[in-house]
Amino acid sequence: AKPKTTVRTVAQKIIMTVVPWSGPDTGPIANRTRPYQTNTGPS
């Protein structure tokens, strides 16, 4: 369990809630909103 992963998950959740259509790496929601750009950011 990496703390960085937890922080990213929380941050992504906030991003997905506010602007799910913005950002290359927004988590599972990106699969539906931007399937061509899913998890392309730094992991």
pLDDT tens, the chain, 43 aa long: 567 778 878 877 776 666 655 555 555 554 555 545 545 555 4
Separation of alpha carbons 24 and 40, rounded Å: 6
38 touches 23 (CB < 8 A):
no
pLDDT reported for residue 43: 41
DSSP assigned state of 23: S
Global pTM value: 0.29
pLDDT reported for residue 25: 55
Query: Residue 22: what are its φ and ψ, rounded to 5°?
Result: -115, 135
**CA 26, 16, 24 angle in degrees (round to 5)?**
25
Query: Residue 29: what are its φ and ψ, rounded to 5°?
Result: -65, -30
pLDDT reported for residue 32: 55
